[in-house]
Structure 1
Amino acid sequence: MLQLAEKLDRINRAVGATVRWLALAMVLVQFGTVVLRYVYGISFIFMNETVLYLHATLFMLAAGYTLLVDGHVRVDIFYGLLGSRGKARIDIFGALCFLIPSTAMIGWFSWPSVRNSWSIMEGAISVGGIPASFLLKSLIPAFCVLLIIQGLACIMRDIARLREEKPAA
């Protein structure tokens, strides 16, 4: 089970290693936009949309990696006080009752919009912008798939932790 979890982890590790470079690209494009606007008085809508596309891609595709490295915000009262087994139980419950169902619903209900966007090759958000809104909308199912993959890997790891640890006597 741990071997399968590690294989699933590799997917989000690879995605995380790739999309982290989008943060640098986003900063550079935004810097260029600001310099062009305030130094030269030139503004390009496609540059503003490029920052939006990079930002959306970075955050949507890195969500699974963030779960992998336990970087998501936790709102808990008792979690920090629990031992390894208690934390594993809460994590399994959270993944099975909240993470996977909500992510699956987001994917399910967003799919018609994504499909329609691809069928018409939906264009730019603004006149003069990037003519690829269909790509931006495609991030939603990708986000869902990557989060579900990582959620399953976390569940497998937590189940393995529960099986190998003996309860305190």
Structure 2
Amino acid sequence: MRFLLCSAQALERLTNQTGRLLSWFTWAMVLLQSGVVVLRHGFNSGSIALQESVVYLHGAAFMLGLAYALQTDAHVRVDVFYRRMSLRGKAWVNTTGYLVFLLPICAFLLISSWPFAVSSWSVYEGSANAGGLPGVFLLKSLIPLSSLTLALAGLAQFLRALMQLMASERLELTPLSSAKAVLKQAEGVEA
């Protein structure tokens, strides 16, 4: 159980750090887009590279932000039944959902997007626009990278739900007097 907790915490730290980095991407995107508007309307000029950098930052913030959204529970959840479930029921739904749906979809995305990114890297694909950024291959690499980071965040959430199920089973198997001790222990581990 300790190993599961340490693994989940390490994966969550990685996701949190990625989320913090992506918040700076959003600020940079706002500043660059403001620069594009000022150049176009104030000085009657523009920069394709500047416009494409906004697109690159937006793609990075969106694709890599999926894992952070999952971890912070900011994703869309249809919880007509979920919100009325017990903690154990929610843990079963989460464990099943991560194992049956999220992780296989992430594996499919990773496997199917890998050749797409590799072929882009093989020619160091650049922008089709004159004056554009030369790193389209980096943008295309976000697809397999985002599926990998989402899978890692999903694995951390799966481990959390699994630990919750294991703790609730212990509570059911122990007498009432020791159930409080197990609960305190589980709360101490979670904190």
TM-score of the pair, normalised by structure 1: 0.95
Q: 2:44 aligns to what? A: 41
Q: 2:29 aligns to what? A: 26
For 1:2-51, what per-residue CA distance to the aligned partner results, in whole angstroms no more than 9, with x for missing partners?
Answer: 11110111111111111210000000000010111111111111111011
Paired residues of 1:122 and 1:131 also in contact (CA < 8 A): yes
Q: 2: CA distance between counterparts of 1:35 and 1:94?
A: 47
- Percent identity reads 42
Q: How much has 1:93 moved relative to structure 2? A: 1.3
Q: 1:50 aligns to what? A: 53
Q: 2:8 aligns to what? A: 5
Paired residues of 1:46 and 1:130 also in contact (CA < 8 A): yes
Q: 1:82 aligns to what? A: 85
Q: How much has 1:76 moved relative to structure 2? A: 2.8
Q: Which has the higher Rg, Structure 1 or Structure 2?
A: 2
Structure 1 residues 39-118: aligned runs within 5 Å: 39-118=42-121
Q: Which residue type is aligned with residue 109 of structure 1?
A: S
Matched, 1:123 2:126: yes
Consecutive unaligned residues of structure 2, counting only runs of 5 or more, are 173-191
Richer in helix (by share): 2
Q: Which residue type is aligned with residue 118 of structure 1?
A: W
Q: Which residue type is aligned with residue 35 of structure 1?
A: V
TM-score of the pair, normalised by structure 2: 0.84
Give the stretch that moved more between structures: 124-133 or 46-55.
Answer: 124-133
Paired residues of 1:125 and 1:133 also in contact (CA < 8 A): no
RMSD, aligned CA: 1.1
Q: 2: CA distance between counterparts of 1:160 and 1:117?
A: 41
**More relative contact order, 1 or 2 (CA 8 Å, 6+ apart):** 1
Q: 2: CA distance between counterparts of 1:124 and 1:161?
A: 48
Which structure 1 residue ranges, 4+ long, deviate > 4 Å from structure 2?
none
What's the secondary structure of 2:101's corresponding residue? helix
Consecutive unaligned residues of structure 1, counting only runs of 5 or more, are none
Q: Which residue type is aligned with residue 109 of structure 2?
A: I
What's the secondary structure of 1:8's corresponding residue? helix
Q: 2: CA distance between counterparts of 1:42 and 1:86?
A: 59
Q: Which residue type is aligned with residue 10 of structure 2?
A: K
Q: 1: CA distance between counterparts of 2:59 and 2:103?
A: 21
